[in-house]
């Protein structure tokens, strides 16, 4: 076959599946858009199969009339203008490619947006066709903000649809976890998830912070009192005038006692008990409010580093085998321009210019908290 150019519709259809892989990535994109619109309350609603309905309602700044026809067009964005802007996009906006909604429209039966900006008296209901064009525009009542509703997701990709239907339960769990990660990354915002027509309320979840929510209060609401009780808040560097510009806020199983206390045996017992209690809750890592995936890339490397120190601390007590997925909440604030967010379509991985500096800092922090790796390993003779 000769080399020929693919028609634009085919190029877009192929491209869309790489931007949006499943219902969880749709929810993620809609949440990112709501955060970019400065929303303080984000409500997710899903059908039980996660495909018929995916909806996020926010109280952000809404979509101005002049932008209504561009919302679902490929490469149309209000967030950056030049490639240089990417350097600084890190902490200021989550989106930047203008691809998400166009891809969602391409892959679903319909995208409906109801929106109203604070200055408008009534809202507008906008419907978009598969090619991203605006197919209808009517007046509607809507509070200030935006509700974006996707129906019949994966309608045109039957194999993925079938697989997704089988995976619905797992996907719901992942979406809930995703929301928890966002709540940890933005503990002062309100997040909720509701599964429509579900027989039970297992997957419904509301995170409603109080006005002065601290990380401990947030953690109680997200992972519960038992886990929270055995964790401690740590800041690094403790000197806020540190010139590096990096700031790390962690909430993790207590263990300082393990390396410093005089009564080492007693301290080891505590370490073991605390880390075990905080097991199976997973790691939540965010960079400037952007939750990172902890199953790949930088997030995975950070999670692995943490686990090796936590396990080493527990190993002193031969409890390491039972430590599989200890809880960690880690919030990183980084100097502007120190990392690139344009790494992969999900935008949940970042590339640091000076990775060694970051990991040096993380190692020092975990080492200070849990004790050095080597000593810990030496201190645990194999049976």
* Interface ranges with Mg ion (CB under 5 A): 33, 95, 100
Separation between Cα atoms, residue 91 and residue 335, nearest integer Å: 9
Label each residue of the chain as H, E or C: CCCCCCCHHHHHHHHHHHHCCCHHHHHHHHHHHHHHCCCCEEEEEEECCCCCEEEEEECCCCCCHHHHHHCCCCCCCCCCCCHHHHHHHHHHCCCCCCCHHHHHHHHEEEEEEEEECCCCCCEEEEEECCCCCEEEEEEECCCCEEEEEEEEECCCCHHHHHHHHHCHHHHHHHHHHHHHHHHHHCCCCEEEEEEECCCCCCCCEEECCCCCCCHHHHHHHHHCHHHHHCEEEEEECCCCCCCCCCEEEEEEECCHHHHHCCCHHHHHHHHHHHHHHCCCCCEEEEECCEECCCCCHHHHHHHHHHHHHHHHHHHCCCCHHHCCCCCEEEEEECCCCCEECCCCCCCCCCEECCHHHHHHHHHHHHHHHHCCHHHHHHCCCCC
Tally of CB atoms within 10 A around 325: 14
- Residue closer to Mg ion by CB (options 102, 252) is 102
- Residue closer to Mg ion by CB (options 102, 298) is 102
Q: How far apart are the first and last CA of the chain?
A: 64
- Residue closer to ligand ADP by CB (options 29, 106) is 29
- Residue closer to ligand ADP by CB (options 29, 348) is 29
CB of 338 to ligand ADP, least distance (A): 21
CB of 104 to Mg ion, least distance (A): 10
- Residue closer to Mg ion by CB (options 33, 283) is 33
* Selected binder of ligand ADP within 23, 33, 47, 49 (CB under 6 A): 33
- Residue closer to ligand ADP by CB (options 154, 362) is 154
Total residues contacting ligand ADP by CB under 6 A comes to 22
Q: Interface mask (CB under 6 A) for ligand ADP, residues 272-291, using x and -? A: --------------------
Locus of tokens 């076959």: 1
Residues 61-90 that bind ligand ADP (CB under 6 A): 63, 67, 71, 77-79
Asked if 37 is part of the footprint of ligand ADP (rule: CB under 6 A), the reply reads yes
Look at residue 58 and give the partner it binds from ligand ADP, Mg ion, none, a contact being a CB closer than 5 to 8 Å depending on partner kind.
ligand ADP
Residues 210-269 that bind ligand ADP (CB under 6 A): none
Look at residue 78 and give the partner it binds from Mg ion, ligand ADP, none, a contact being a CB closer than 5 to 8 Å depending on partner kind.
ligand ADP
Residues 301-360 that bind ligand ADP (CB under 6 A): none
Asked if 29 is part of the footprint of ligand ADP (rule: CB under 6 A), the reply reads yes
- Residue closer to Mg ion by CB (options 82, 265) is 82
CB of 42 to ligand ADP, least distance (A): 9
CB of 351 to Mg ion, least distance (A): 20
Evaluate whether 146 touches 37 at the Cβ level (below 8 Å). yes
Query: Which residue's CB atom is positioned nearest to Mg ion?
Result: 95
- Residue closer to ligand ADP by CB (options 56, 218) is 56
Query: Which residue's CB atom is positioned nearest to ligand ADP?
Result: 95
* Selected binder of ligand ADP within 25, 28, 44, 97 (CB under 6 A): 97
Q: Which residues bind ligand ADP (CB under 6 A)?
A: 29, 33-34, 37, 58, 60, 63, 67, 71, 77-79, 95-102, 146, 148
């Amino acid at each position: 076959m000769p080399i020929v150019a693919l028609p634009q519709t085919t190029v877009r259809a192929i491209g869309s599946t790489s931007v949006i892989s499943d219902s969880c990535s749709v929810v993620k994109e809609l949440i990112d858009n709501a955060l970019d619109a400065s929303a303080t309350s984000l409500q997710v609603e899903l059908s039980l199969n996660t495909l018929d309905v995916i909806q996020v309602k926010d109280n952000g700044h809404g979509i101005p009339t002049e932008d209504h026809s561009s919302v679902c067009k490929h490469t149309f964005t209000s967030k950056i203008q030049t490639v240089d802007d990417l350097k600084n996009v890190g902490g200021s906006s989550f989106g930047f490619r203008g691809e998400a909604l166009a891809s969602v429209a391409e892959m679903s039966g319909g995208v409906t947006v109801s929106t109203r900006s604070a200055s408008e008296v009534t809202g507008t209901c906008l419907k978009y066709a598969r090619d991203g064009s605006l197919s209808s525009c009517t007046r509607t009542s809507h509070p200030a903000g935006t509700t974006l509703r996707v129906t019949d997701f994966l309608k045109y990709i039957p194999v993925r649809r079938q697989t997704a239907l089988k995976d619905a339960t797992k996907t719901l769990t992942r979406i809930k976890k995703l929301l928890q990660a966002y709540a940890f990354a933005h503990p002062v915002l309100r997040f909720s998830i509701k599964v429509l027509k579900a027989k039970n309320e297992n997957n419904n979840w509301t995170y409603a912070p109080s006005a002065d929510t601290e990380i401990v209060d947030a953690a109680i609401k997200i992972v519960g009192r038992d886990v929270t009780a055995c964790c401690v808040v740590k800041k690094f560097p403790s000197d806020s005038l540190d010139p590096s510009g990096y700031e790390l806020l962690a909430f993790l199983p207590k263990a300082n006692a393990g390396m410093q206390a005089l009564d080492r045996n007693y301290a080891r017992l505590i370490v073991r008990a605390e880390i075990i209690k905080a097991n199976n809750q997973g790691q939540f890592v965010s960079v400037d409010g952007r939750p990172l995936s902890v199953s790949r890339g930088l997030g995975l490397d950070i999670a692995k580093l943490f686990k090796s120190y936590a396990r080493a601390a527990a190993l002193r007590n031969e409890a390491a085998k039972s430590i599989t997925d200890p809880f960690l909440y880690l919030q990183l604030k980084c100097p502007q321009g120190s990392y690139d967010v344009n790494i992969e379509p999900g935008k949940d991985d970042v590339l640091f210019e000076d990775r060694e500096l970051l990991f040096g800092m993380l190692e020092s922090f975990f080492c200070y908290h849990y004790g050095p790796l080597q000593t810990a390993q030496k201190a645990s003779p194999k049976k």
